[in-house]
Amino acid sequence: MITKDQVMEALWDVEDPEIHKSIVELEMVKDVKVEGSKVHVTVAVTISNCPLRTTIEKSVREVLSRLPGVTDVDLTIHTMTDEERAKFAQKLRGRAEPQSKPPLLEVDNNTLFLAVASGKGGVGKSTVTANLAVALAREGLRVGIIDADIYGFSIPSIFGIKQKRPTVIDDLIIPIEVEGVKLISMHFFVPENNPVVWRGPMLGKMLRNFFGEVHWGDVDVMLLDLPPGTGDVAMDVHQLLPKSKELIVTTPQANAAEVAVRAGIMGVRTNHEIVGVVENMSYYQCPGCGEKSFLFGKGGGDEVARALRTQVLAQIPIASMENNSASSLFAPDTPQGEAYAALAKSVMLRTNLKAVVKQ
């Protein structure tokens, strides 16, 4: 005859799809009863109409139906009370003090912070951030993105996210996960097409909330998509993350390279290591003959690298405008996808990320 302990042991294999921890560890299993070959289980979800309720229910039924001797599973799903939800959020934080320093910013945290910066807009910095994140995730790393471009947020649209919003438990935000990348953006917290009219202190507070009010879990590398230039948000990042490394994005044009150097110098002056330079829109490669056309000239990336005493890690080709995908993420077998895969390996090598790749 099946026992309650055997049921609980089996339920350890069921994970919350957003938090990626066992529902037993998260104390979501509220009651287990065994009557002969029939098992009664009650599981609590955080919010009513939870979009992932069906996924949890299916997983519970699957693992329990595989237990020898179980012929029937009676599953009840209910919504947590306010008290249970507050306790659940506290458990995710891993601490009782709500005002304590976020785990992500603790001195002993091993997460690598990599800020992606550019001197001006329009060079594809956010596209580079998103595709590099996906390429790093494909290498087995646990990756997050903070869309720190508060005014010009575009990370969600690059990932093809339109209507979806993060789950909020008590006052804790669960980041959205796409292509193995966890991400958060101001996009999720403002009405559609409304501008963000904030001054520096408010921007800094929002950025700190992205570190402290979001449940990131274990992350190997956190990419920060910075606003172009050297404004308030860039200054806040440099103060919040003194050990952050930096990747500079430019295009081949001389004027883009000139302002990219300024953004890099700001990082150098705040003791941030410049990992390297990415030259985006380097050339257009004919899909038929393979011939390269340098539509925006040559040499911008090399110029930035020389000025900052670093290296050009990648030259990303221009994408065909025939791509009708909802996202701006490139498939691994495209020229752009291959360039981002090589960039991910170069970043890993230059930051020792290879040591933490999961087997």
242-277 confidence digits (pLDDT tens): 788 999 999 999 888 888 998 888 888 878 899 999
Shared domain for 135 and 72, answered yes or no, is no
- Token pair for residue 293? 């056309």
Q: How far is CA 130 from CA 140, 186, 220, 223, in A?
A: 16, 16, 16, 9
User: Is the model's pLDDT at 98 over the cut of 70?
Assistant: no
Residue 75 belongs to what domain range? Answer: 4-80
Residue 353: the pLDDT is 83
- Token pair for residue 352? 């020792």
In whole numbers, what is the pLDDT of the chain averaged over residues? 84
User: Is the model's pLDDT at 316 over the cut of 90?
Assistant: yes
Query: Considering the entire predicted model, what is its pTM?
Result: 0.78
Q: Are 283 and 292 in contact (CB under 8 A)?
A: yes
Shared domain for 133 and 271, answered yes or no, is yes
- Token pair for residue 317? 């080709």
Residue 89 domain-assigned (yes or no): no
Which residues partner with 167 through β-bridges? 174
Shared domain for 125 and 56, answered yes or no, is no
Shared domain for 138 and 54, answered yes or no, is no
Shared domain for 193 and 134, answered yes or no, is yes
Shared domain for 67 and 207, answered yes or no, is no
Structural domain tally of the chain?
2
Give dist(CA 224, CA 237) in Å, integer: 9
Q: Which residues contact 24 (CB under 8 A, 6 or more apart)?
A: 8, 11, 12, 14
Q: Which of 80, 118, 140 is nearest to 260 (CA)?
A: 118
Shared domain for 202 and 317, answered yes or no, is yes
Residue 142 domain-assigned (yes or no): yes
* Reported confidence tier of residue 74, pLDDT bands at 50, 70, 90: very high
18-68 confidence digits (pLDDT tens): 788 888 988 889 999 999 889 999 998 887 666 678 889 899 999 999 999
* Reported confidence tier of residue 132, pLDDT bands at 50, 70, 90: very high
Give dist(CA 281, CA 152) in Å, integer: 20
**Count of residues in the chain:** 359
Residue 278: the pLDDT is 97
Shared domain for 243 and 351, answered yes or no, is yes
Shared domain for 75 and 108, answered yes or no, is no
- Which residue stretches of the chain are H helix? 4-11, 53-65, 82-93, 125-138, 155-158, 200-212, 232-240, 254-269, 300-308, 335-351
pLDDT cut 90: percent of the chain above it: 40
User: Is the model's pLDDT at 199 over the cut of 50?
Assistant: no
Q: Range with the lowest mean pLDDT among 147-151, 214-218, 220-224, 246-250?
A: 147-151
User: Is the model's pLDDT at 97 over the cut of 60?
Assistant: no
Shared domain for 263 and 345, answered yes or no, is yes
Give dist(CA 144, CA 129) in Å, integer: 11
Q: 89-103 as b/e, with b when 16 or more CB fall inside 10 Å?
A: beebbeeeeeeeebb
Instruction: Please tell me whether residue 54 adopts helix, strand or coil conformation.
Output: helix
User: Is the model's pLDDT at 92 over the cut of 80?
Assistant: no
CATH of the domain at 62: 3.30.300.130
Please say which residue of 80, 95, 116 terminates a domain: 80
Q: Count CA atoms closer than 13 A to 263's CA, side-chain side.
A: 32
